Amino acid sequence: MKLLITNDDGVFAPGIITLASFLAERGEECTVVAPDRERSSVGHAITLTRPLRLWAIPSGLYSSTCSVYACDGTPSDSVMLGLEEIIPEPDLVLSGINKGPNLGDDLTYSGTVSAAMEALILGRPSLAFSLNCRDADEEQHYETAAAVAGSLLDFLRGSPLPEGVLLNVNVPNVPLPLLKGIKVTRKGVRLYEGKVTRLKDPAGRSYFWVSGRPEDRLEEGSDVWAVAGGFVSVTPVHMDMTHFPSLQTLTANGAEKINFK
């Protein structure tokens, strides 16, 4: 398969190096186009107000058969430029492996998932991969997530994704033999407690730090539930954010008859 691979942790992050190198060594044709630095949590941002640069870099830490390019824009910029300039007809666009999960409401903040969404908007099938690790974890098992990606690619060869659907894949941070299996899930609910912390700088002025502890609702069948139980979570995602039941309710309640005068 011809693969375009991107991420939001930057082109030198271990997750994307492990993913591209693992797949290249399995015989896939891997082209990496990724941000030149970490752009986590930029969501679906694209760069419209300054020029963008795109340059080839030596494969270095990557498997030698990977073609690697850095872009000084966002993950979505990287997908756009990658498809326009480097590899116009990939079989699949992959994003990740992200350092940290993209579960529940992380989806709209995530540069990793947004890059996959950008590919989808441009008419290419895509998958997003994230490892459920934290900074404090001693080991980060990107090799587990890469092996999952390889197996999913094999599955998709026989059972391609429907048009307009991407897969958001989250992998527990454990050695491969300890994975419990795969669950096909729906997007769950993940809220953050204490999202904004106010602190003081040395001059006594306030500054703010946005972070927060995730609070998951572990409803059966959801992505947060699957990963908490040691399973790989595979969520099919599409871009239509319309809430269909409200089409009828809003109309029935007279929203189209609101008088402006």
Query: Where do contacts with Mn ion occur on this chain (CB under 5 A)?
Result: 8-9, 40, 98
Bond preceding residue 97 cis, omega within 30 of 0: yes
Amino acid at 29: E
Amino acid at 205: R
Nearer to Mn ion, 37 or 180 (CB): 37
Residue nearest Mn ion (C-beta atom):
40
Nearer to Mn ion, 214 or 229 (CB): 214
CB of 257 to Mn ion, least distance (A): 46
Nearer to Mn ion, 98 or 185 (CB): 98
Token pair listed for 251: 């109309």
Nearer to Mn ion, 192 or 246 (CB): 192
Token pair listed for 205: 């002025």
Nearer to Mn ion, 24 or 131 (CB): 131
Nearer to Mn ion, 40 or 132 (CB): 40
CB of 204 to Mn ion, least distance (A): 33
Q: In what order do the strands lie in the sheet with 54-57?
A: 54-57, 67-71, 29-35, 2-6, 92-99, 126-132, 166-172, 232-237, 182-184
| SS3 assignment, position 200 | strand
Residue pair 128/113 in contact by the 8 Å Cβ criterion? yes
CB of 249 to Mn ion, least distance (A): 37
Please give the Cα distance from 56 to 59 (Å, whole number).
9
CB of 37 to Mn ion, least distance (A): 11
CB of 145 to Mn ion, least distance (A): 13
CB of 205 to Mn ion, least distance (A): 29
Residue pair 90/83 in contact by the 8 Å Cβ criterion? yes
- 94 burial (CB, 10 Å; 0-12 / 13-18 / 19+) is buried
CB of 188 to Mn ion, least distance (A): 19
Amino acid at 203: A
Nearer to Mn ion, 199 or 210 (CB): 210
From residue 1, alpha-carbon distances to 21, 124, 159 in Å are 14, 13, 14
